[in-house]
Amino acid sequence: MAETAVSLAGKHALPKILEAVKMVRDLPKEVRDITDELESFQDFINDADKVAEAEQDDGRRHRIKERVMRLREAAFCMEDVIDEYNISCEDKQPGDPRCAALLCEAVAFIKTQILLLQSAYKIQDVKSLVRAERDGFQTHFPLEPRLTSSRGNQDVTWQKLRMDPLFIDEDDVVGLDGPRDTLKNWLTKGREKRTVISVVGIPGVGKTTLAKQVYDQVRNNFECHALITVSQSYSAEGLLRRLLDELCKVKKEDPPKDVSNMESLTEEVRNRLRNKRYVVLFDDVWNETFWDHIESAVIDNKNGSRILITTRDEKVAGYCKKSSFVEVLKLEEPLTEQESLKLFSKKAFQYSSDGDCPEELKDISLQIVRKCKGLPLAIVAVGGLLSQKDESAPEWGQFSRDLSLDLERNSELNSITKILGLSYEYLPINLRSCLLYFGIYPEDYEIKSDRLIRQWIAEGFVKHETGKTLEEVGQQYLSGLVRRSLVQVSSFRIDGKVKSCGVHDLIHDMILRKVKDTGFCQYIDGCDQSVSSKIVRRLTIATDDFSESIGSSSIRSIFISTGEDEVFEHLVNKIPTNYMLLKVLDFEGSGLRYVPENLGNLCHLKYLSFRYTGIESLPKSIGKLQNLETLDIRDTGVSEMPEEISKLTQLQKEASTSVENRYLRRAPHRLCSRCRCMSTTTTSVIIGPVFVMQEYNVSGYKRTDVIKKDSTTHILDNPSLFWSISTSANKNSEYFDILTLTVARSRHHSKEHDFGYGGGGNNSVTKLRHLLSYFTGLIQWKDIGGMTSLQEIPPVIIDDDGVVIREVGKLKQLRELSVVYFRGKHEKTLCSLINEMPLLEKVRIDTADESEVIDLYITSPMSTLKKLVLRGTLTRLPNWISQFPNLVQLYLSGSRLTNDALKSLKNMPRLMLLFLSDNAYEGETLNFQSGGFQKLKTLLLKSLNKLESILIDRGALCSLELFSLRELSQLKTVPSGIQHLEKLKDLYIEDMPTEFEQRTAPDGGEDHWIIQDVPHVRIWSEDAEEPLHMFGRSHH
């Protein structure tokens, strides 16, 4: 009887087992199919959304939007099941050393098959759900055939266009010549009393564009200047704190840390403005109470100080009259039709060969421009959009008709809002999500492009392209949004790539409407926690008063930017249990003090940032985050990593800051025997086994701190102890000249703190791409060779037995290589290493001491190399440097070259920055010959102690914008030929001989005529807190 029961059970079970086996076997194909279906389903949702927007009847529109939200919920389910499958495939459980190998493998195999079977059943359920929702929508609200192709899919050429970012040149500002001259005159001339100048106008009329352009032109006329974006939801304390920070930044000072209330903030600002002529631009002021908050701080020195305001409300300007002189510039008149067409053509045909409107598009262009009603922002947005489209009359005609339809409906929205909404509709699908991501951040927020792109990658917005990294593709996406004038660039890198960016407040408003309707994200700042949809995919918490009314199951990303109280701690503790499907968790700038021990529950997490928080350690459970791609612990108190970090198998970026770097407020100033400064832009400090690197501005710092010689040996011999810098001004032979530096608890080479990355077995970090750290001892170099996806690693110290070189040589994807403590005996091994690295973009070599010589022979063409830093003696300038076709930045420090190094460098086709410092050149004359350095934009010369003259031939340095001369003790005359540099914008002269300063003085200096037409000239004398002279063409 038992045998019969078993037989019957087997008969019934066998079909189910076979079905399950088939489902698991077919699962990869099912996932590919549902991934493809997700893309087409998203197109269907976009078309359905257009039906809702086009519906005139309010009740019917509401019903359609409810149906569209159900479609989105189904799409979210598709995304989730795909993610779960990918994780189940990659989730290989490590074997238990207490089990027999075969038994452990069998158990792991069974677990994996169960997970895969669960995914297979979920996929079937989701496919049924999607089919039902799609059919249901078509039944009740059938889509017309003309809507079934998404506008976004028409635009597929944007990736192929050149990557040049959008610069707002003076020529691109149309129709504002008169207001610009008026504003400039009010700022630089007129009464001595403090004056408030208000630029008033409707949204999109060009207030900010005009104010920022004129501010940039005149700011160097003033001893102090600052630009502050106010926005609608500012706080008085936050406003003053930002003003204080900006004033300190201009002076290269650290903001005071002990300022905690309005009274002390006001006094600090007053102290920095007292007796100085200043200009401050407050952009986007919304109400008159703003003046009450800053009036006491912006002291009237009766020396021509100016406060510039942009606002939509004329009452703001009137309110300031109670205690200050006021000038009001109204931008009331829209652009004329001719001006509108001129601006439109500049944007729409910016990539055309001749830049002119083709004859067949002139009538359509005029129709489109008329719909923009003379508003510059609308014209720029439409022009930027059409610049990405084929110049064909049918396509532009369809766009014009679509624009007309959008303007006719939705009467509650103004025309510019509708135009911006249409610009969004015409974006490719992947760019729409990237643009909506700005809704996660507050209005007027400036975000670093690296951070933004890493988050896009973690979210899955960035798709792989052959021959490119995900970061490169992400840069393309960002440039696509910039070219369409939907994203504004805040700052650029030297190579022209976007460094930081943001969006106009009107575009931000449009984004917020989109994200609220779609469930893309919700921004909670304490003012409004209402949610228009029952699903929210991403959540930003900018208040301690968080109600947690949003369902946790749908949330995939959380951003927290505030909080220190018990409610905040309660929320943080609940994240690992209530939000277990998170992909992105960003605490940057929040009040976080600790990390929950169960953080490892977030197995889907790809991006994790603790930057600018107060955490001091990471939990061991971080080793469970097997899908983590980015871990950012810069500017935190984390001084060591748990050993479990080595278990991460997906980590692509780990950004960490050593304790030393957190205390490095300014870079060291001059060479000393065992602690030496190599550069003013990227400064290395080598103190025994400690390595510190910090980027900072080259434009000048003044106050110098010093440290006694005998105290250096103490830290060198005992790197685990604290080291502080004295602030004595005595510069005798017992002191080294150094800027503020504190080193704390370096544990370099302490075995108990070494971390094994990829010690073997299943836990090797084979997908780690970016390991960012200042600690050379953070990893065990003998294990690094298995991490073959690495693109960035900590600085390398070459060992004598060749282990480091051998392991690093396996990293063929490496983009950045920094070698410290280089010695001549390492030449052959280092040459071999570099020659075998085909993708290097940045190379840096620092010698161990002044007696060592860098004498390398590089045979690889290194077509990818963009930045080269050599710090140490060179017997000669290597010929191979001039052979690098794409080199953008070259730094030479301590090279002691005697032959004119410029001859072999002058024809480098893409060199944009050249920095020679600390006797990099020991000749008496530098001659920039005619036709040389055609692309160079920045030239920095520092501490070339034998240099007596600089000659600039006509036709040389024709692209130079910034020229810095610093601590050139033998240079007594102004470089001949500066007057020929037509593009030179800034000339910085610092700590030069007295005779040089006298010859350049505006009051009778015999060489002053040579530099008087440079727009901005600043001359600093040694130890002075303020510039000795400020003048230039923009001051006239």
d(CA 704, CA 713): 21
Among 209-218, 767-776, 875-884, the range with the most confident prediction by mean pLDDT is: 209-218
pLDDT score of 146: 41
Mean pLDDT of 5-34: 66
pLDDT tens digits along 611-663: 888 888 889 888 888 788 888 888 888 777 777 665 554 455 555 443 333 22
Both tokens of residue 570?
């309660």
Region label for 940, one of left (φ > 0), alpha (ψ between -120 and 50) or beta (otherwise)? beta
pLDDT score of 1033: 58
Q: 226 Cβ partners below 8 Å, 6+ apart?
A: 243, 246, 247, 250, 278, 280, 281
d(CA 836, CA 469): 20
How confident is residue 1011, by pLDDT bands cut at 50, 70 and 90? confident
Please state the three-class secondary structure of 974-1026 as a single string. CCECHHHCCCCCEEEEECCCHHHHHHHCCCCCCCHHHHCCCCEEEEECCCCCC
pLDDT score of 441: 92
pLDDT score of 765: 39
Q: Which DSSP helix (H) or strand (E) runs through 654?
A: strand 653-656
pLDDT score of 607: 92
pLDDT score of 423: 76
pLDDT at 679 over 80: no
Q: What is the assigned CATH class of domain 176-330?
A: alpha beta
d(CA 800, CA 794): 19
Q: Give me the amino acid identity at 573.
A: N
pLDDT at 971 over 90: yes
**Which residues does residue 309 pair with via DSSP β-bridges, in sequence order?**
198, 282
What residue ranges do the domains of the chain occupy?
14-149, 158-167+336-518, 176-330, 522-657, 662-738, 890-1036
d(CA 931, CA 933): 7
pLDDT at 691 over 70: no
Q: 263 Cβ partners below 8 Å, 6+ apart?
A: none
pLDDT score of 740: 29
pLDDT score of 933: 94
pLDDT score of 690: 30
Phi, psi of 661 (to 5 degrees): -65, -30
d(CA 119, CA 115): 6
pLDDT score of 953: 93
pLDDT tens digits along 182-232: 999 999 988 899 999 999 887 777 888 899 999 998 998 898 999 998 876
pLDDT score of 307: 95
Of 92-96, 359-363, 599-603, 1001-1005, least confident by mean pLDDT is 92-96
Both tokens of residue 753?
């703190």
CB burial of residue 989 (10 Å; 0-12, 13-18, 19+): buried
Across the chain, mean pLDDT equals: 75
Look at residue 285 and give its three-state secondary structure.
strand
Mean pLDDT of 565-569: 67
CATH T-level topology, domain 522-657 = 3.80.10
pLDDT at 291 over 60: yes
Of 139-153, 586-600, 954-968, least confident by mean pLDDT is 139-153
Of 290-304, 364-378, 438-452, least confident by mean pLDDT is 364-378
Beta carbons of 446 and 504 less than 8 angstroms apart: no
For the CA atoms of the chain, what is the radius of gyration?
Answer: 31
Model pTM score: 0.67
Of 123-132, 217-226, 705-714, least confident by mean pLDDT is 705-714
Mean pLDDT of 275-299: 90
- The widest CA-to-CA distance across the chain, in whole angstroms, is 119
pLDDT at 549 over 70: no
Of 679, 660, 672, give the one whose Cα is nearest residue 706.
672
Task: Kindly state the DSSP code that residue 726 receives in the 8-state scheme.
Answer: B
Beta carbons of 293 and 236 less than 8 angstroms apart: yes
pLDDT score of 952: 94
pLDDT score of 273: 93
Beta carbons of 858 and 832 less than 8 angstroms apart: no
How confident is residue 785, by pLDDT bands cut at 50, 70 and 90? low
